Structure 1
Amino acid sequence: MNNDDLSRLRAVTPGCAQVFHFNHAGASLPSQATLNAVIEQLQREALGGPMEAADNRVQERARNAAAALLNAEPEDVAFASSGSAAWSQAFNALGPWQPGERILVGRHEWAGNLACMAEAVKAGARLEVIPCDAHGAVDPQALAQMIDGQVRLIALTWLPANGGLINPAAQIGSVARRHGIPYFIDAGQALGQLPCDVQDLQCDVLKGAGRKFLRGPRGTALMYIRAQFLQRLLPVHRDVLSAPWDGKRFTLRDDARRFETSEVSLALLAGLANALEEHNRLGAFAIRQRIAHLSNGLRQRLKAIPGLTLRNLGAANQQSGLIAFTLEGWDSVALKQTLAERRINIGANGVAYTPLDMQARGLTNIARVSVSYLNTQEEIDVLLENLMELATRPQISMSTQSP
């Protein structure tokens, strides 16, 4: 990805001219073509009738692009309104939990997933945390030592929301597949940032949101379900699409769309299809290289700011584009708000996002910069200049932690 490529990509992304955006892990900036795809579908619905403007080709484009992203088959992909909605649907479809059954998770598990698991714990299941290695990543060898006949699920957040760690998802998958244990991956921060091959990961379920590094619209998400695992999942919610009437009975579909409903926003899916196709044309490896180059350099430069402490996990030079830090004298939410007034967007996470990891590390909140291939060195210079200035005038805020 050379300078000409970057200039072209930024020129067709309207937000790049308005803000210095370092919150791609929250939601990235869509291209004008993605915006146009949403608007054009809405116009067709407004002018010709919403039902009459329904076009199966929109969903086909999105499904084919998602399958190419994941190295999966289109029939193994379902769409949802959010990553959390997709994950909870798949988890609840596992069926009732029995006392003594075990769920093994990484310490960095996303809180929304843990909230679903809490219902299983109420039924008597045990939630257990897999030990970390010396770099703070989930340890596959430690996981292997935990396996017994009571383990019913292994769940992993591949890239945690509160720092730069990249968990060894494929190695965890090897342990899960070897023992025949269902394996769920939360790839919310990975999709659009890292190459993602579900065959290599050996996962049974993987989900991610469209709005993050994929640069799709809010309100979109995708879920992969391994074909051989699908029959073990019985969705709680069903309708005429997911369980159609065959003349005698209502029968669940034999593809991933058993997790979809007949009511869907084609406008949002049209935007997602365009965003996915743009990502696939750029190529996941080229994107990964640029994000790694920018974020590795930024981490080093952040160390020069007085009072700033990096709060990342993971081996050096093997981290994601998410950079967590705290700044002495600043509440992270107040820091985020102050930078926003200067048109610089960052994130701020509290304990509620990743409670197991934040509590284990004694952190109450962190500021988070997340870098995309769209960012430039000039933008990074502006961010650093502002952080350096704010470091010299601490301002404690009583703001509550932001979601």
Structure 2
Amino acid sequence: MSVAQQWRDARPKVAGLHFDSGACSRQSFAAIDAAATHARHEAEVGGYVALDAAAPALDAGRAAVAALTGLPSANVIYTSGSGNALDLLLSSWPGERTVACLVGEYGPNLAVMAANGFEVRALAVDGAGRLDVDAAARQLAADPPAIAHLTALASHRGVAQPLAEFAEVCRAAGIPLVVDAAQALGHLDCNVGVTAMYSSSRKWLAGPRGVGVLALADELAQRLQPRVPPPSWGLGIPAVQMLDGVESNAAARIGFSVAIGEHLAAGPEHVRARLAEVGGLSRQVLADTPGWRVVESVDEPTAITTLEPVDGADPTTVRARLIAEHGIVTTACDVVRAPFEMTKPVLRISPHVDTGVDELEQFAEALRAVV
């Protein structure tokens, strides 16, 4: 059975077309049932007793994250999302607070960096917004930051960054590399030897909303100094334990554990190949859509396709009409997503592995109709 058919069979039938996995994908029956079962168990025996009983399931989720990131399962921390994960990491950072990142860095990430007192330095990119690895290597050597940060796949453009190559540069320079894998985990190969990686549950891994993960290399996990409780208290509690608080939506975490387990069972390499295929099909079908320019090249190995309006269409209005009139869910990306790179809003589609040419052609027809 194909990856596409497995994905489709494992989920409720979609109402319309769901081209929005880059925002929030569709959960499987198994993930939904696992979360509901835990919530029921909390009602039966009490939340903390149920949490203790769920330890094996949560540990299995940590092991699955470790398999995808290459970072130790003992240092995998559940969070409430990607933004929370980055804030936990940066607020616990010891010493100098400088970070090198892309010009097109995700706006909310920049806000978290600023809130934690980090000075941001821009890394060189090419005309497509892709990191120029050689130029970045020279920058890091000339003026090393405390952290290099790379969003491996942006939310406003489906360009895959050279993660493995940059990880090698950072290792050679002795600079910790922190990776935002919110769009990349479950989409691209992220097991490339980085210092820290964080992601969300709800995107390509198709887990519940309100869950995220932060994974750390051993050396960094030992260095972090969480702000709560104050380090001056000298309690001797490991940083990983302090960051991974007990008070949480355990049911959602268990749903995430099941979802990432399903991803591993399907074969990450098969999922990646199918997502790249879907992205190529999307760009071919949409290449000549009047009033829009496809941003990515056909062979970009991602399923995110960005449509830039060329005749004045408003992506927010278009998105609303696609939902109301055609039952098609997409994303309108405003400039706040990449405030130092974007010049106008764009429309984004992010279909998952179950999408075929017929659905893409249906979308293209609907897009022409609403514009």
Q: CA RMSD in A?
A: 2.1
Are the counterparts in 2 of residues 238 and 261 from structure 1 also a CA contact under 8 Å? Answer: no
Residue 38, structure 1, aligned to residue 39, structure 2: no
State the identity %. Answer: 25
Question: Aligned in 2, Cα 1:344/1:316: closer, same or farther, shift over 3 Å?
Answer: closer
1:303 CA drift (Å): 1.6
Are the counterparts in 2 of residues 194 and 287 from structure 1 also a CA contact under 8 Å? Answer: no
Structure-2 residue corresponding to 1:386: 366
Residue 340, structure 1, aligned to residue 340, structure 2: no
1:231 CA drift (Å): 2.0
Structure-2 residue corresponding to 1:9: 7
Q: Once the two structures are superposed, what CA deviation does each residue of 1:11-47 show, in whole Å capped at 9, x if it has no partner?
A: 3311x33231000000000001110001100111112
Structure-2 residue corresponding to 1:111: 107
Bigger share in helix: 2
Structure-2 residue corresponding to 1:169: 163
Q: Once the two structures are superposed, what CA deviation does each residue of 1:207-234 show, in whole Å capped at 9, x if it has no partner?
A: 0000000000001111110112222211
Are the counterparts in 2 of residues 77 and 257 from structure 1 also a CA contact under 8 Å? Answer: no
Tell me the amino acid that sits aligned with residue 70 of structure 2: N
> How far, CA to CA, are the matches of 1:102 and 1:9 in structure 2?
42
Question: Aligned in 2, Cα 1:289/1:366: closer, same or farther, shift over 3 Å?
Answer: same
Are the counterparts in 2 of residues 58 and 266 from structure 1 also a CA contact under 8 Å? Answer: no
Are the counterparts in 1 of residues 196 and 215 from structure 2 also a CA contact under 8 Å? Answer: yes
SS in 2 for 1:222: strand
SS in 1 for 2:258: helix
Tell me the amino acid that sits aligned with residue 252 of structure 1: I
> How far, CA to CA, are the matches of 1:17 and 1:140 in structure 2?
41
Are the counterparts in 2 of residues 132 and 138 from structure 1 also a CA contact under 8 Å? Answer: yes
Runs of 4+ in 1 over 6 A off after TM superposition: none
Alignment counterpart, residue 295 of structure 2, candidates 299, 311, 316 = 311
Structure-1 residue corresponding to 2:237: 252
TM-score (norm 2): 0.92
Structure-2 residue corresponding to 1:322: 304
1:374 CA drift (Å): 2.3
> How far, CA to CA, are the matches of 1:154 and 1:69 in structure 2?
20
1:120 CA drift (Å): 5.5
1:109 CA drift (Å): 1.1
Gaps of 5+ in 1: 392-403
Q: Once the two structures are superposed, what CA deviation does each residue of 1:135-171 show, in whole Å capped at 9, x if it has no partner?
A: 4301111111112355211111110111110111111
Question: Aligned in 2, Cα 1:273/1:120: closer, same or farther, shift over 3 Å?
Answer: closer
Q: Once the two structures are superposed, what CA deviation does each residue of 1:71-96 show, in whole Å capped at 9, x if it has no partner?
A: 33210211100111001111121135
Are the counterparts in 1 of residues 180 and 198 from structure 2 also a CA contact under 8 Å? Answer: yes
Are the counterparts in 1 of residues 42 and 49 from structure 2 also a CA contact under 8 Å? Answer: yes
Structure-1 residue corresponding to 2:56: 57
Tell me the amino acid that sits aligned with residue 248 of structure 2: V
Residue 294, structure 1, aligned to residue 278, structure 2: yes
Alignment counterpart, residue 207 of structure 1, candidates 198, 208, 225 = 198
Are the counterparts in 1 of residues 283 and 298 from structure 2 also a CA contact under 8 Å? Answer: no
Gaps of 5+ in 2: none
- For these two proteins, the number of residue pairs brought into alignment is 365
1:258 CA drift (Å): 3.7
